[in-house]
Amino acid sequence: MPYPAIRLKDMLDEGTRRYGVPGASLAVWAGNALSEAAAGVCNIETGVPAAPDTLFQIGSITKLYTAALAMQLVEEGKLSLDAPVRNVLPDFKLKDESVATRVTLRHLLTHTSGIMGDFFQDAGRGEDRVAKFTAMMAALEQVHEPGEMFSYCNTGFVAAGRMIEVSNGMTWDKAIRQRLAKPLDTPSFSTLPEQAMRYQTAIGHLGSPDKLFVTPIAYLAASNGPAGATPMAKARDVVSFMRMMMAGGVAANGNRILSAESVQAMHNMNVVCPAGMNIDAIGLATFMWDWDGDGRYEIFGHDGSTIGQAAWARYHPASGTAFCLLTNGGNGKALADRLIREVFSDAAGIVPPAPPKPDATLTVAPARYVGRYANTMEEIEVSEDGGKLVATVTPAPDYAVMSGGPKRIPLEPVSAELFLGVPPGMTLPQSWHFLGDDGTGRARWLHSGVRAHKRV
């Protein structure tokens, strides 16, 4: 049976009000039918109502598309997952020359390259912008050695985008339109603002849910497009992509987009995430979850966030259920958590497991945890206050607008490795993993927001 659209609308209306989300669009494929709903507004200043046809920024859901493009070229013999990037990009450079010679496309698509992942310098708007950005990566340091662990890496996907350009003979933007958007019958999928202007679009909002304002910066740098900086889509567009993945690479219109083997490769586990993280494992770009605890991954998808916008995509091939929620501010994470739980319970008979909870009886030795950890996006000072740990997050100057400014977050232990902390203005906890050893018994990395921060 189709998911009742009226129920989606009621849930979305109530949820956007409860969690201070200005506007949202939701599409669900279930029972071999599409149901859609929208709530709120595209822009709190104009008051234009959001609609199922509204384009929102999908952020890093784009990484699924970039990986799919890469797999098409692997099928054609133009790319190889496990050959050095330099086989395609001879001038590829990083600060660590030994890494530049060894890193592979698989490393890039699985966030295991160890390259500093958040670097949003603008390389302009010309058709050479991805090439120029990739050249800028020569200044980037390592968070860890390739394959040693994983740390979410936007820069890696830009490099993968450049590999797509060189091996395919066209820009990443043209490739995604010609090889994915058009064959999927999703012509509104846009990678540039001038494309999105053909449609009604949503703008991001910053600030706490009770005090929102329109973001002064509409988009991240276009040169980060392959990682998700600029693409905009309708929720149903993303559902069309997920339906293709659930159908072994065949779109609803009968067009074969990927081979069944490529889909399986994207769904094969490459990385197991630390226990208690909001992702269980990572395939080729694909986030993976084992909701029923049987040791197999049955839920796939990706999350995305840009400046004041956030998106969630989930699909369950066993039941043929796909879910996409797009939002433009407020506490979207809480809204997504609630809707994912309700929709998949109703449509697929499966729900996410209960999140971990702090252990009030656990006593930890602060010396292992306190100190400063950093990456290019932010610095985190972990200190002791009244016998408990507190994380003070200070964004780097270039990222202050995106992050909303400094945050002080009390941490509660779940285990000796895992802590939970709720960011200001949010209602759901974020996981904080202290990993490795720096040789003196102290944690070497703080893993938060799926990113590794190295002790400094």
DSSP 159-184: HHHHHHHHHHTS-HHHHHIIIIITTT
The single residue of 60, 190, 223, 262 carrying the catalytic annotation is 60
Type of residue at 366: P
3-62: pLDDT as tens digits: 999 999 999 999 999 999 999 999 999 999 999 999 999 999 999 999 999 999 999 999
CB neighbourhood size of 362 (10 A): 12
CB neighbourhood size of 386 (10 A): 6
Q: Is the dihedral of CA 132, 138, 139, 141 positive or negative?
A: positive
Instruction: Confirm if 60 and 304 have CB atoms less than 8 A apart.
Output: yes
Task: State the Cα–Cα distance between residues 339 and 180, nearest whole angstrom.
Answer: 28
pLDDT at 425 over 80: no
Alpha helices in 268-325 (DSSP H): none
User: Which pLDDT score, from 0 to 100, does residue 428 have?
Assistant: 85
Q: Is the dihedral of CA 44, 45, 48, 50 positive or negative?
A: negative
Task: State the Cα–Cα distance between residues 231 and 180, nearest whole angstrom.
Answer: 13
The pairing of beta strand 388-395 with beta strand 378-385 = antiparallel
Q: Which helix (H) or strand (E) holds 385?
A: strand 378-385
CB neighbourhood size of 169 (10 A): 9
User: Which pLDDT score, from 0 to 100, does residue 406 have?
Assistant: 86
263-300: pLDDT as tens digits: 999 999 999 999 999 999 999 999 999 999 999 999 99
Of the ranges 178-192, 231-245, 296-310, 397-411, which one carries the lowest mean pLDDT score? 397-411
| CA distances to 120, 260, 411, 443 from 136, in Å | 10, 36, 36, 30
Task: State the Cα–Cα distance between residues 368 and 375, nearest whole angstrom.
Answer: 19
Type of residue at 257: I
Task: State the Cα–Cα distance between residues 141 and 98, nearest whole angstrom.
Answer: 12
Instruction: Confirm if 39 and 186 have CB atoms less than 8 A apart.
Output: no
Spatial CA neighbour of 329 closest among 301, 353, 308? 308
User: Which pLDDT score, from 0 to 100, does residue 403 have?
Assistant: 63
What are 211's two structure tokens? 């005090």
Task: State the Cα–Cα distance between residues 389 and 408, nearest whole angstrom.
Answer: 11
What are 245's two structure tokens? 């993945």
Q: Find tokens 């530049």 and name the residue.
A: 100
Which positions ≥6 away from 182 have C-beta within 8 Å? Answer: none
Class of residue 372 by CB neighbours under 10 A (exposed 0-12, middle 13-18, buried 19+): middle
Question: What is the DSSP track for 260-280?
Answer: HHHHHHHHS--EEPPTTSS--
Percent of the chain whose predicted confidence (pLDDT) is above 90: 91
User: Which pLDDT score, from 0 to 100, does residue 387 have?
Assistant: 86
Looking at every residue in the chain, the average pLDDT score rounds to 95
User: Which pLDDT score, from 0 to 100, does residue 400 have?
Assistant: 67
360-400: pLDDT as tens digits: 899 899 999 999 999 888 999 999 998 899 999 999 887 76
User: Which pLDDT score, from 0 to 100, does residue 401 have?
Assistant: 62
User: CA-based angle 133:134:137, to the nearest 5?
Assistant: 95
298-320: pLDDT as tens digits: 999 999 999 999 999 999 999 99
User: Which pLDDT score, from 0 to 100, does residue 309 have?
Assistant: 98
Which whole number is the average pLDDT over 341-359? 95
Which whole number is the average pLDDT over 244-273? 98
User: Which pLDDT score, from 0 to 100, does residue 170 have?
Assistant: 97
- What DSSP designation does 201 have? B
Spatial CA neighbour of 408 closest among 392, 394, 388, 427? 392
Task: State the Cα–Cα distance between residues 254 and 235, nearest whole angstrom.
Answer: 21
Spatial CA neighbour of 435 closest among 156, 106, 148, 153? 148
Confidence of residue 218 (pLDDT cuts 50, 70, 90): very high
Q: What are phi and psi of 213, to 5 degrees?
A: -145, 155
What are 290's two structure tokens? 């084992």
Class of residue 86 by CB neighbours under 10 A (exposed 0-12, middle 13-18, buried 19+): middle
Residue 60 annotated as catalytic: yes
What are 353's two structure tokens? 């497991």
Confidence of residue 404 (pLDDT cuts 50, 70, 90): low
Helix/strand/coil for 20: coil
* Angle, helix 129-136 to helix 154-168, in steps of 10 degrees: 130
User: Which pLDDT score, from 0 to 100, does residue 402 have?
Assistant: 62
Helix/strand/coil for 232: strand
